A and B are shown apart, each in its own frame.
Chain A
């Protein structure tokens, strides 16, 4: 045999390997093929190819593995169990940028499924090499590494801490400053994932100077980048007052409001989340938002979208109103109440309704004026029907009951209370009658109106246990009227009159 023939064998083998790897990578893109591939033992075949002499084959094998691992967590676990990760990590440091990218892809695909898998990646020492990749010259490599780090960090605080300990944060902050939009996006999302777990982690992100760079990019025209930026800022701001103040000090305020007008729904959602996270901490921060006109912008935003995107805005209104009566008043004069009642009646989903009910309760609980503002928009009957409806979730029922109670205890606007006399359950009726008993002694017009509208009759029909709070309220209402009138309206009065007719002895001279 000549030398040539011998070499031909090798050549053929190499070609076959290349083709195999490429085909597997291609097949792995389709979900329906995955199971077949798995059953055919693709993992064990791909593993040696990761160490192939030809770089292209290595890369393609890594790519195929990544796609398989991306598909579900069983396959990802198979990658971990097959001891493939140490090889990947080893070669991640050694090989060229294409290979780095593919390897980072595999790590990302494995790490995204569960904390255990991500922990397995961390145990392999992948973090250090990934962090080194963040320093790479090629933006694509940086991107892949940042992505993998973000997926590892998103599971829990320990994993995030591991990522932080590997020194990723300063490099991620550098990545934000790169010109490539995709890299910025992914670095921002990784920072968001890191800072979401605990105040300490958020503090490390802040210490790396991320806020200033993030805040600068709020006006970036790219919608996806904006989403990540806003989410990162809100994840930082959510932990403590200090962090929220740091975020506010980056002068995000009038600027973020423009994001509420964005076309992209998620930008809107994340912007309202950010505002909510800032507002929820202290009255001062809420006040700052109110002064910047944030409440009006959020209310407009709630009006312009539907569904889950409204939720953070609704909660933000609730938080602002909960802090103090002045802030609640600010929400009212920004025309927040009609918008919330629209949400309450329009939204199909219970959790959004519950949030709206809660927010309304927070607005109405301060003073009679607040309660009146809520009551005139005719939300109380809606809340009552939500409370009474059997289809509402438990949370919604509890929230709407609490809201009704909060509002009723302050409400002195009798026309809104009156319908409640007729169709409220006893535990709410108590509060309604209580309000009447407080108002009627001091208001002659209302007393008259109460009789003519039939309220007094209704009150007489209520059966209260003697000695109970309700009975006391009823008594104090009755004390506002002459006895004849009370008796006239008591049930069974006509019978007693007739009885008197029967028993009357006519006077005969």
Chain B
């Protein structure tokens, strides 16, 4: 209780003290509160800031990681794309190369090839030159041939002329007109005349009777087309001296075709002619010209004529006539031949010779 009593004794003091003390505290309370708040706020601010800083650090780490992840992903993509594009570019260039080659090849092969065309045109122009040359050659040779023929013709003509003028040739005594003594050299004609054979006297040509001039009947036809006088008069008949008619006329009279009158044109000896014709007909139809004769003696000396087409040298064998004994006559016992077994029929062998002329061969 002492305590209580002490306390009670002191209560007044305490109360005073309490009051006093409270009032002092009250005096400082606001300041202190403010200061505390300040301190607290600062502290708390620091704390929060530290926390936030902490958080920021974490966030940065997270972001770093995330962004690096994203960045790597993007990078991967970029690389892929780049790789892909380069690859595609390469492929494209290669494809272009292939296409270029192929298209070039295809066009050259199937459509148009410049070098080929050039080559072709060159070949064509070469062919053209060759053809031109060949044709020129051809025409030249032809021309030359014609020229030659012409020259030959002229030469022939001149030869003929020379033969015709052969009498102008100079003799030992008298110089010819082509061999003038006042000139150094004789004319070339002189030499030609020397070479030429004089022309023989011309035989007056037998005038061909222009038989109604039938060759020109049809515009086109050859000389063979229509009839001329059928018998030609003999050539080279000389004119005989004397007061005779012109030989051509005479010959014409002599060889003129028979002009039968109308009366004569129809044959009067028809029967005779018919017989003749019949005979001829029969003759034509005979197979064998030889008369049939049954007698062996008439064919004795007949020689066998083999067919043209047979190749063997077949002929009638003389078997039975000679070869019954040894062929060598020295070995024969007697030199005589064999007697034929039967003597011939006289009657037959003499047939036609003794009794009558029937069956005789003319």
Residues of chain B from 117 to 173 with CB closer than 8 A to chain A in the complex = 117, 120-121, 124-125, 127-132, 134-135, 138-139, 142
Q: Which of B125, B142, B217, B225 contacts A333 (CB 8 A)?
A: B125
Q: What residues of chain A lie closer than 8 Å to B138, measured between beta carbons?
A: 258, 261
Residues of B within 8 A of A7 (CB): 261-263
Is B236 an interface residue when CB atoms closer than 8 A count as contact?
A: no
**A291 touches which of B127, B217, B225 (Cβ 8 Å):** B127
A 101-122 to B, binary, CB cutoff 8 A, 1 in contact else 0:
1100100000000000000000
The distance in angstroms between the C-alpha atoms of A71 and B144, with both chains bound, is 43
The reply on B202 being an interface residue by CB < 8 A is no
Q: Quick check: B125 and A334 within 8 Å, CB to CB? A: yes
Considering only residues 217-247 of chain B, those with a C-beta below 8 Å from chain A are: 217-218, 220-222, 224-227
Q: A304-344 toward B: CB 8 Å interface, digit per residue (1/0)?
A: 00000000000000000000001001100110000000000
Would you call B24 an interface residue if the criterion is a C-beta within 8 Å of the partner chain's C-beta atoms?
A: no
* B4 on the A face (CB < 8 A): no
Closest-by-CB residue of B relative to A263 is B142
Say if the beta carbon of A265 comes within 8 Å of chain B. no
Q: B119 → chain A, closest Cβ, in Å?
A: 12
Stretch at the interface among A159-167, A294-302, A450-458: A294-302
B287 at the interface (CB under 8 A from A): no
Q: Which of A462-479 contact B (CB under 8 A)?
A: none
CB distance from B140 to the nearest CB of A (A): 10
Interface residue? A293 (CB, 8 A): yes
Q: Does A217 contact B (CB under 8 A)?
A: no
Chain B hits for A333, CB < 8 A: 121, 124-125, 128
B2 adjacent to chain A (CB < 8 Å): no
Against B, the Cβ 8 Å flags (1 = close, 0 = not) of A1-35 are 00100010011001000000010010000000000
Residue from B131, B132, B134, B212 having most chain A Cβ neighbours under 10 A = B131
Distance in angstroms between the alpha carbons of A300 and B129 in the assembled complex: 11
B139 CB to closest chain A CB (Å) equals 4
Q: A11-B261, A98-B226, A329-B117 are in contact. Are A293 and B128 (CB under 8 A)?
A: yes
Contact A290 B124 (CB under 8 A): yes
Contact A297/B132 with A7-B262, A333-B121 known, Cβ cut-off 8 Å? yes
**Chain B interface: which size bin?**
20 to 34
Q: Whose C-beta in chain A lies nearest to the C-beta of B136?
A: A261
How many residues of A are in contact with the other chain, CB < 8 A?
40
- State in angstroms the CA–CA spacing of A292 and B128 once bound together: 8
> Which of B135, B227, B261, B263 has the largest number of chain A CB atoms within 10 A?
B135
A292 close to B127 (CB less than 8 A): yes
Distance in Å from the Cβ of A109 to the closest Cβ of chain B? 10
User: Quick check: is A169 within 8 A (CB to CB) of the other chain?
Assistant: no
> Smallest CB–CB gap between A368 and chain B, Å?
15
Minimum CB–CB distance from A127 to chain B (whole Å) comes to 20
Instruction: Provide the residues of chain A in CB contact with B132, threshold 8 Å.
Output: 293, 296-297, 300
What are the residues of chain A within 8 A of B125 when measuring CB–CB?
Answer: 333-334
In the complex, what residue of chain A is closest to B221 when comparing beta carbons? A140
Is the Cβ of A257 less than 8 Å from the Cβ of B212?
A: no
Listed A/B pairs (6) with beta-carbon separation below 8 Å: A102-B217, A140-B222, A143-B221, A297-B135, A300-B135, A329-B121
Closest 8 CB pairs of A and B: A293-B131, A296-B128, A261-B139, A293-B127, A140-B225, A7-B263, A330-B124, A10-B262
Q: Interface on A for B, CB 8 Å cutoff? A: 3, 7, 10-11, 14, 22, 25, 63, 66, 98, 101-102, 105, 139-140, 143-144, 147, 180, 182, 186, 254, 257-258, 260-261, 290-297, 300, 326, 329-330, 333-334
